[in-house]
Structures are given as structure tokens and as C-alpha cells.
Structure 1
Amino acid sequence: MNAEQIIKDYFNVNSYLSLSKGEIVYFRLDSDLFKDDNVVPNLIELLTENYVKNGYAHRYSNELQTYLLDKKPLNYSVVPLKNIQSNFEGQSNFGRYNIVTNIRSYEEALKMINTNYIGNKDVSLEDFSDDEKLNIDRTGTIDTNGESVIFFTFDDWGGDPIVNEILDVLNKHNVKATFFTIAKYSDVNSGISNINPNLLRTIALNGHDIGSHNYNHELLDTNKAELKKSLIKSYEVMSNVIGDLDSLRQYFRPPTLLVRKAGLEAVFESGYNYSVGANISTHDYESASSQEILDAIEPKLVEGKGNIVIMHFNNQSYYTAEALDKFLTNNENGVYGTKYKIAKLSDYLEK
């Protein structure tokens, strides 16, 4: 094959969207491997342009009702192996902490459903009794003692092009957010090809909260015993990457916001302090413009409360960073009348 054919065959852009922080790329230089001596140099040029300086993301098209692959700037650097930096710095446990999960009794977990579950008005509570429903939050907001606050939260997991773009916008406006991550993508023992623990650590080093979106994105209607295994594993995996940083929180975001009583019991029994829904969901992963995302946020904001906004940082979140930048700029300029304070969940949940 020539370089273009190798790239197309090996780096399938539908799944391989960029090179990642810390990846080591190697090439065979056997004398009889390539007929053309320029194959490896051409490979390096193509990889650098398309997977290091730039990456890819999936952009939703309303017209075609499908996702299109588009390039996004990444601006990573290629360095020699001598530039490898060790996170361990001579300490055998630097960056790796075995945090004991705060396992709770069934009775304690039941009580926490009434006090530490932040819900959503559209979530079905079909397996709760009428009396139980009366005590369960459905506002999706946090009591902020009258302050008008917005908590931007990001779900799932994505590649470097999307995540770095979101982090850049948050840094530009000097605000912090909360990320609910699917833990298997940070697990070096998961056996999947696109693990990226360096990206999780980057989010933490930028000062954001990190909570769990479960290990495999399991829903809360999963068998309770299996669910608890995943919930505990999710937290332990992330603690092995960022446990030395003040970022990992015992917060859980139910995938798709689906709730079942036994599932919520499992969350709190497994040591999580909060299960966090929201009052605003943007569906940014299927938005065809940044304005669509803004239109999903602005009319639903509640003054004097802590608004929780669900966004995503998966590879379909093409317009999320752009929408976030526009919203934060508008907010700073007083476009919404009230200037909302932007905070991460721990700023209020751990007061």
C-alpha cells in the first residue's frame, strides 16, 4: 500500500478521530517492507496534518438527518521520546489512590433518595408509590439561597478534538464545570482501543468536577447486583487516574436520566453522595447549529435557583463549544437581564 491507502485502512476516521495525548506512534523500517522509500515520510506528514494538528468530530445535518464527519483544529505537537514526562516523579503512588468507597446500608440509601437525588420533571417514576413520589425532587434545580446560578454539566466521553475545544472555552471565560464520564474510556485494563486516561487527567488538572456516568453507560434499570459492580468499578477506575487531584466527586449522572427505585438504591448503597439530573437538557449531540443549543437553554432558565444544564462531550457534540462560548459571552454582557453565576456542582453541594 501507499501512505494514503494505509491511512484509510488503519486510521478509520469513523472511529479513530485523532491521536491522543501521550500516544506513541511507531513505524516499521524493514528494508523489504515498502517498495517506495517515501511511504513512511508520507505517513508522518498525513498523520501530523490529519490526526495531530487536526482531528475529527461528527456534525449533525438536519437536511440529511445524519452525521457528517468534519475536521476540527487540535494543535497537538509531535515530540521525540526523550520528551516523555513522568507523572510519578519518583513517588510510587503519585496519581494513583485506592479510595475506599463509602458503602451504605439499604436503609441509608432509601433515605438519600429523598434528600440527595436531584431529578427532572420528565423522568418517569413508575415504580415508586404515590407517597414516595411526593418526597422525590422533580425540579432538577439546586437551592442556591436565592442566587441565580448555572451549573454546566457534560456527559459521556469524547475524543481530544471535542474535549479540548470545550476546555478552551471554559478557560477563556474563567469558569468551571462538571463532567460525568463513562469510566471504561479511562481504564487501561478495559481492552478497548480508544482508552484515554490522559484526557481525563487534563479535565481534572483544569479544575473541573468529575463524576460518574457509570462504567459502560449502564442504565438504572440494570440488574441491581451487576449495577453496583459497575458503579463501584467506575469510581475506582477514575480514582486510579485522578485520585491525587481535588476533582473526583462522588456524584452520579443516570444515563439518559432514566430512574428506577432499585437503581437509585444501588447508586447510594455504592457510596455516591448525589444522583444528579437537571432542569435543562440541550440534546446538543443532535443539534445542527449552536443556535439550536442556545434556544434549548435560554427559555428554561430559572432566576434565583441553581439551574443544571446537560450538555455532552461526545464526538457528536460538534456545536457544543461554540454554543457555550456564545452563551457565556451573552451572559457576561447582560443579554439575559440577570447575570447568572457559573459554578461547578461541588461549589454548592459541598457547602
Structure 2
Amino acid sequence: MGSTASQKEIIKKALLIGISGYKNQSLEDLDSPINDVEALQGLLSRGESDYSSFDTVQVEKNVPKQGNLRKLIREFFRETCETGLFYFSGHGVLEDGKSYLATPDGEEMAWGVPINEVIEAANRSSIKNKVIILDCCHSGAAGMQHYYDGKPYMMDDRLISINNGVTILAASNAKEETWDMGDLSLFTSLLVEALKGGAADVVGRITPSSVYAFIDQNLGEGFPRPEFKANVSGFTVIRKVKPPVDLDILHQIITYFKNKDDEYDLSPTNEFTNDPAYVEMLKPREPYAIGKDVKVFKHLQKMVSVGLVEPVGEKHMYFAAMNSKSCRLTPLGKHYWNLVKNNRLKPES
């Protein structure tokens, strides 16, 4: 079991399942799944800092039987909360067009719990945001009725219903196998890097869509292709990390740029090294650095570092200041300017 919250309302909870050992000889034992869930447990558990995320993280290793796994899934989605994250690492089996999360007791025609049972449990759940992450072979079959010879089998509809609030992140498409790398699986190793901050936006928010984009962009040709399926009216934040730009600095963007198309005039007073104290190393020029201007310039340079601001007429902000040029908002900077201007970027967001 993982960490549990004390007497308080549970806002976010996670169920992480890793199965490495299998009795059926057609399913080799895996090295990664136990390591996968342990790595995710450390990232999702609350307590390390204000930027950690989930109130409870339940970890289940080598769930022995199909009935045990089915019960865990049903109980997890039965209890309500704001956000529920279900993760599975282990074998996935595709047989007669039906995909399964394989359990150690799996056998022909009954390999484990059908993947679509997880989707159906999520559909019935009163949890507002349901995030399902599947690191197993053929996981992209989630949501399909049946899958034969590389094509969905058209029994009734191609897709089963995915209700509002459900997001699915699969490690591969329906016909692909995933890679067990020994330490962490290929997919989960990238998932961990994404959750550490690789998929974070300027204010440190990590969403399922940003995780998918991070993983997809880091996989070249020849690797299993992850899939993303969702029916949502807004993406939930599954983790927050320390933002590269403090929010109080970011909120100054509408002070420095009164209108999003304005340019901010720079001068040598912005550059802290333009001071007689540095005469041995540089050649300072008047007007010399002024404290309040230097402070503003440091804020602008922070915004440059995350792609919100760019110098005009020079390649670097130093030369833009020393040559009395200017800087302006990038398209991404204009986006965040709008968020701040419209009070959409609050400390708790």
C-alpha cells in the first residue's frame, strides 16, 4: 500500500498497479512494472513539497488473480473525488479482438481483466476527472469494441462510449507491443521525466495532454507510438512543479507591457554590469546601471528564458540594453499576458 491521507477530504487519489510475474509460460516475467509503480509513487505522493500532488497513492504489486484486479478497479472508481488516476504496468494481451490487462493467473480466453472494463468503470464513476494510463502491449485498443488484423471490428460501433471527464493515455497503439527496459519501461521512463517537470508549462502545471506531447515528441521512428483519447471539457492538473518563473514576476508582464503589442524600451541603465565598479573587466558607459531598472531587466530576462519575451534588433538582451533597443512579447508571451490580464492565472491555478 502507498501513502494515505489523514482525516480530511480526498481531492486527488491514484491507484498504481504493477505486475511482473506470470504463471503462464507464454507470458514472460517482466523486469520493469514494479520499478514503474515505485517511481510513480514517489512522484505523486503528497508530502515532499507544496508542489506535490495526490492525497492518496495506493500501490498494488503482482495482483494475483483476475478477481482481485477487477475488485481493485471497481472500488477505486466507486469512491468519489475530484481527480482519480489509474495506472497499470504489466502484460497486455490481444486475443480474438479483445484486449486484456493480464494477471498472473491468466490463460487462453481469460487472460485478465478486459481493458474496456476499466473504461466502463470510469464511465460509471462519479469522480470528476478520470485519468487512465496504460503501460502495456496493445493498450491503444482501449475504447475499441474489437480489433482484428489491424482494423477495428465493426460489430456495433467502432468505439465504445468514453464519457465526459475520461482521459486515456496508452503506451502503444492496438497492434503494437511495448518495451520492457529492465529498470523502467520505455514509456514510464518518459512519463516520469514528464512528471518531474519536462511536461510543465510556464507556471509549473502538468496535464495529461502535456504529458502525452512530451512522450510523443521524445519517441523517434521505430518506437511504439503512444495514443491519447479523451472526452473532456478542460484538462486537469495532475501534478505541479516549481515554476521556472515565479508567479509574482509573471504577473508583472501587464505592468511592463501595457498592451500586448507594445515594446518595452531598454537602456544601459538596465544592465547591472554597466557600472564603474566593473571598469576592470568592462567598459561601462553613461547612463550607468540604476537599481530599479536592473530589477526590471532581471524579470524580463526570466521571461526570455521561458520564451515569453524576445529582444528587438539584437540577438541577446544584453546588447539590446546596451544599445538602447527594446524587447517585446512572443506569441506565447501574449498568451500569458491575456491570462494575467483576465485574472486567469492565480497562485492556486
Using structure 1 for the length normalisation, give the TM-score: 0.27
Q: Comparing both structures, which one devotes a greater share of its residues to helix?
A: 1
Q: Which has the higher contact order (CA 8 A, sep 6+)?
A: 1
Q: Comparing both structures, which one devotes a greater share of its residues to strand?
A: 2
